[in-house]
Structure 1
Amino acid sequence: MKTITIIQPWATLIALGEKQFETRSWSTKHRGELAIHAGKKIDREACEIEPIRSTLAKHGYTADNLPTGAIVALCNLEECYMVDNRHDYGTIGLKAKNGKFIMWGGSRGNEYYFGDYSDGRCAWQTSNVRHLREPIPAKGMQGLWNWEGMMA
């Protein structure tokens, strides 16, 4: 199964269904099943910034109890969009248009604060997220990698 390693707290935010888009500096052609692996690194500073802190707390998490070095969720990778902020679309919001991900005049709650939506970055849209209550220990890697621990 294709897998992506994501540092904490972002891996858990995806696992909890609070973060739908993973932002990356690179695109992928992969679509379909994707395992979310929480890397060993925790960005403790990010865990204290709102709205990350309160979102984690709502689910009983702090920087001290986030799972690391483990598969924390399974999901589907629906689409990969290029971020395009060169137009004035108003306030915080996200919309896919012609294969690009743009800012627009709506709101998606905290989504904007859970990623880096700078021009030229890629927004990977996830769906059907299944949070694993018992994380499965696994060694992570850079890029997309194959996890043999569970086959779809």
Structure 2
Amino acid sequence: MKALSLLQPWASLIAIGAKKIETRSWATKYRGPLAIHASAKFGKHEKATCGLPGFKQTLIVHRLMRESKTQYGLYFYEMPLGSIIAICNLVDVIPVEDISGLTTKERAFGDYSPGRYAWVLEDVRPLDKPVPAKGKLGLWEWAGDAG
């Protein structure tokens, strides 16, 4: 099965159905089943993104992030890393300039800069348990079982 690696929180946003379009700088002719892989990296930029409007409330509601009750307001992240976390269908890839009617959250969850591509995802099915896997750049073949 083809797989696509994404950084957190974007991989989990797809897995929970909050993000239905993945934006990329490149297109593909591939259409069909796609495994969503959460990359092992979860750096400062990605953690800062989790605190942005739309991200924070969505991640907390879905128990992917929680705020501590300390004076420092620390966050604890519950997002899987280095694993396949969902299976979906890639149904279309279109230039972002051809997209209309995006919700505010969908627009916030992607990079809709001119020249990029919108990968339209449907039938997202989160896995009951993340399946450890080493990701790769681009579309790659995952030989695992989504059971």
Does the alignment reach a TM-score above 0.5?
yes
Q: For residues 146 and 105 of structure 2, what CA distance do their matches in structure 1 show?
A: 32
Give, in angstroms, the shift of residue 83 of structure 1.
1.4
TM-score of the pair, normalised by structure 1: 0.84
Equivalent of 2:105 in 87, 110, 126: 110
Matched, 1:5 2:11: no
Q: Report SS of the residue matched to 1:56.
A: helix
2:30 is aligned to 30
Matched, 1:20 2:20: yes
Q: Report SS of the residue matched to 2:77.
A: coil
Q: For residues 13 and 124 of structure 2, what CA distance do their matches in structure 1 show?
A: 11
2:143 is aligned to 148
1:128 is aligned to 123
Matched, 1:68 2:81: yes
Q: For residues 56 and 28 of structure 2, what CA distance do their matches in structure 1 show?
A: 30
Give, in angstroms, the shift of residue 107 of structure 1.
4.8
Aligned residues: 134
Q: For residues 111 and 102 of structure 2, what CA distance do their matches in structure 1 show?
A: 16
Q: Which one has the bigger helix percentage?
A: 2
Matched, 1:46 2:59: no
TM-score of the pair, normalised by structure 2: 0.86
Q: For residues 35 and 115 of structure 1, what CA distance do their matches in structure 2 show?
A: 19
Q: 1:34 to 1:118 in 2, by over 3 A?
A: same
Do the aligned partners of 2:87 and 2:146 also contact (CA within 8 Å) in 1? no
Do the aligned partners of 2:89 and 2:123 also contact (CA within 8 Å) in 1? yes
Q: For residues 147 and 50 of structure 1, what CA distance do their matches in structure 2 show?
A: 34
Q: Which one has the bigger strand percentage?
A: 1
Q: Report SS of the residue matched to 1:4.
A: strand
Q: For residues 4 and 36 of structure 2, what CA distance do their matches in structure 1 show?
A: 6
Q: For residues 146 and 102 of structure 1, what CA distance do their matches in structure 2 show?
A: 28
Q: Which amino acid aligns with 2:126?
A: H
Give, in angstroms, the shift of residue 18 of structure 1.
0.4
1:92 is aligned to none
CA offsets per residue over residues 30-62 of structure 1, 9 Å max, x none? 101000000012210111111001001111111
Q: For residues 72 and 102 of structure 1, what CA distance do their matches in structure 2 show?
A: 27
Which structure 2 segments of 5+ residues have no match?
66-75
Q: For residues 10 and 107 of structure 1, what CA distance do their matches in structure 2 show?
A: 17
